[in-house]
Amino acid sequence: MQIKDKVVVVTGAASGIGKALCERFAREGAKAIVLSDIDQAGIDTVAASLAPISATLAVRCDVGREDDVKELVRQAIARFRQIDLFCSNAGIFTAGDETVSNAQWQTIWDINVMAHIYAARAVLPAMLERGEGYLLNTSSAAGLLSQVGSAPYSVTKHAAIGFAEWLSITYGNRGIKVSVLCPQAVRTKMTAVGDGDGGVAGLDGMLEPEQLAETVVATLAEERFLVLPHPEVLTYMRRKTDDYDRWLGGMRRLHEKFQDIYRRRQQ
């Protein structure tokens, strides 16, 4: 997909990855960018900065609520007639193990998994009717590998990739393209906690959101499934599948090295 002249929706657009994607899409010549976030003031500011380049619409949306996602899509279509690319990008991090409270598990599940499902339910009917459309779902390298220090994050990001795979398999022959964004550490509010180095995810370096956005645009142009701003992740995936037990042993060593950092983040 070429972004030029396309209508794009981005969730989590007030800051970090979402903001960088909106800015990059505008430079690519997007016809319109619909920004959503729970931070209305934040998306209003970003939308105003992009208005000289692309048409914009800022819609407050809690992606963990299906009615909010439906309303986001309704407003986008009402204003711009269609959605060419929906970037389901909003996400949260919760540190902890299996003892994390049910309420916290439900919250991260709703935002990191159900939000992708709500988006697909809302946008697919019109896309399938046209015979074209693109879904970009933000997951994480944690969804391909794992996340030391966070069972909820690891589980939900794996689920997000599983759903994206299913979408591609099910609708790929009906004109629907699907990509899943799987970065390691990116300099955002999420990675600013603790020591601000991204923890174990920062071992291969911390990317700026703008760098990630460049990889996204290039991958969308090639219409590849995996968007890997950190190319090392592909090597780690191959090692994992080549010898699962050896990989698990290595991950246990990383767990021992970083467990104190993640304990502090839970406090």
* Active site residue ranges: 153
Residues 6+ apart with CB under 8 A from 237: 144, 145
Q: Quickly count: other Cβ atoms within 10 Å of residue 169's Cβ.
A: 10
Distance CA 252, CA 9 (A): 39
Strand 85-88 to 55-60 pairing: unpaired
Can you tell me whether residue 34 is helix, strand or coil? Answer: strand
Distance CA 26, CA 44 (A): 15
Residues 6+ apart with CB under 8 A from 261: 149, 194, 195, 199
* 150: β partners: 96
As given in the structure block, the two tokens for residue 127 are 């896309």
Distance CA 36, CA 13 (A): 6
